[in-house]
Structure 1
């Protein structure tokens, strides 16, 4: 089985994905980490030197590699992965796969991301919490269409990672 974790940057896809994979005895794949390994550069460097269009092309290639694998995996997608091209349709139509949206409110995402914005190319230029919140609000409005196509949507607000993982385990049966 392939379990795809979707959500905005800062939603905990990597942390929750690693813990979930360990509990399920599955392999964990962070799509962004795979891209960084293959390109020999950080996501920030790829965006800066090659641009978003190049990044999205490489991202799709890595997604296709993951989809071809027969190994049971928990896959943490980049925040924008399901929103480009037909990525979400391809993911949803993968045999023996499920999609889970880790949904957080805007205020929580703003607080989480403000302290680490310098390491995230899409938001590093935003200097105030207000500008970051406005950016997240707009982005979630645009991306929500894709995220909400997930088979499962988990409201993560006021929940510990352990509670979120427990709910995912229950959903998976």
Structure 2
């Protein structure tokens, strides 16, 4: 097998599903945001405040390459914007299979309404729905290049088992 990358908007459930599926399948799991915070010894919010988005994306791209090199098999929950910068989509595609967790804007807003302050790109405006819609519009073309697209509102564990099998066959 190789790596399976979960991508999608903030609040789509990348970390939730990544942990759940890695536990069920006995696979290693890496959450990129947690990895970056441990690597940098500061929060994502602090990195954004000190380095800006561009600086964060450079750190994120370097972290992605480290994770790919260090992790032979497993599930990787990428950051919501990872696929949009610094050749990361291509690096992910070369290292494994990409799964886009596609969620409706209302689902994302409901999940994020109480934690937007922890998400640097969402703290810049009090208007969550239009901000999410704008982010999705900018990122959707990247997300849609995934090997598999799953609607989170109807997602089940069995769906992931099928995806993992498909990704294994794809890489063989």
Which protein is richer in helix relative to its size? Answer: 2
Measured in 2, the distance between the counterparts of 1:7 and 1:53 equals 19
SS of the aligned residue for 2:162 comes to helix
SS of the aligned residue for 2:50 comes to helix
SS of the aligned residue for 2:121 comes to coil
1:19 matched to 2:44: no
1:110 matched to 2:106: no
Measured in 1, the distance between the counterparts of 2:94 and 2:4 equals 13
Measured in 2, the distance between the counterparts of 1:50 and 1:167 equals 38
Match of 1:144 in 2: 140
1:42 matched to 2:43: yes
Measured in 1, the distance between the counterparts of 2:163 and 2:17 equals 15
* Stretches (4+) displaced over 2 A: none
CA contact (8 A) 2:5 2:78 kept: yes
SS of the aligned residue for 1:112 comes to helix
SS of the aligned residue for 1:100 comes to strand
Match of 2:131 in 1: 135
Change beyond 3 A, Cα 1:117–1:70: closer
Match of 1:169 in 2: 161
CA contact (8 A) 2:65 2:91 kept: no
Give 1:59-78 correspondences, 5 Å limit: 59-78=60-79
CA drift of 1:167 comes to 0.4
Q: Deviations over 1:60-102 (max 9, x none)?
A: 11100111135311000000000112111121122xx111000
Q: Deviations over 1:37-70 (max 9, x none)?
A: 0111100011012211111111111100111135
Measured in 2, the distance between the counterparts of 1:118 and 1:102 equals 22
Measured in 2, the distance between the counterparts of 1:68 and 1:171 equals 23
Please list every run of 5 or more consecutive structure 1 residues that lacks an aligned counterpart in the other structure.
none
SS of the aligned residue for 2:120 comes to coil
